[in-house]
């Protein structure tokens, strides 16, 4: 039985200064790197997901039109494939990520379970190939892509945990409700050990 870590959308456009910057995103990248410095070798597979949208269409209505975004189902342009905003945050240690998956290529995707490798292999197939049964979820944003990823993982039958100190959300109340949804679906909401000695977390790059 294998265990996987899903690092969801820790990208420049979702952190401070980005097109859809979430408060706390910069520090989250640092905290996840610290966590990886302590725990990467405890996972059989580490997957990083990214929004990777088309720049020449609305990605299935995901990008807002002239009427502007409603910040629920339509959004400003963000994470366009190949642009700096779509890249991982520089504080995130990507050297330990085993598989990179991309989502939202012409479609309004939120869940990493909708993502594929550059070779076109879907995340469910990647997890099946590695015989994963347990999935831990960290990343951005609690009330959107983290929520969707964790719920899809539960729906697919995985034992799921979200680390509540290794996610950040757009809206506090909506993020709390998202974590409640994960619990209601049979998932776990845990707390990492990053509050203990974060200044020197096993040699991690901060």
Residues involved in catalysis: 9, 103, 145
Q: How far is CA 80 from CA 63, 64, 105, in A?
A: 11, 14, 9
SS3 readout for 136-184: EEEEECHHHHHHHHHHHHHHCCCEEEEEEEEEECCCHHHHHHHHHHHHH
Pairwise CA distance, residues 35 & 25, whole Å: 15
Tokens of 49: 């997901």
Beta bridge partners of 160: 135
């Amino acid at each position: 039985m294998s265990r996987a870590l899903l690092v969801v959308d820790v990208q420049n456009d979702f952190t401070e200064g980005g097109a859809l910057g979430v408060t706390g995103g910069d520090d989250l990248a640092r905290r996840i790197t610290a966590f990886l410095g302590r725990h990467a070798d405890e996972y059989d597979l580490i997957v990083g997901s990214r929004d990777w949208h088309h720049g020449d269409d609305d990605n299935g209505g995901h990008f807002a039109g002239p009427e502007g975004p409603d910040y629920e189902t339509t959004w400003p342009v963000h994470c366009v494939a190949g642009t700096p905003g779509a890249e991982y945050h520089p504080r995130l240690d990507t050297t330990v990520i085993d598989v990179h998956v991309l989502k939202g290529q012409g479609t309004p995707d939120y869940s990493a379970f909708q993502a594929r490798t550059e070779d076109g292999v879907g995340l469910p197939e990647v997890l099946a190939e590695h015989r994963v049964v347990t999935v831990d979820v960290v990343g951005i944003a609690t009330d959107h892509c983290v929520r969707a990823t964790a719920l899809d993982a539960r729906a697919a039958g995985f034992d799921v945990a979200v680390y509540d100190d290794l996610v950040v959300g757009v809206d506090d109340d909506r993020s709390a409700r998202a974590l409640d949804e994960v619990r209601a679906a049979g998932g776990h909401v845990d707390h990492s050990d990053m509050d203990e000695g974060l200044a020197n977390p096993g040699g991690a790059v901060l």
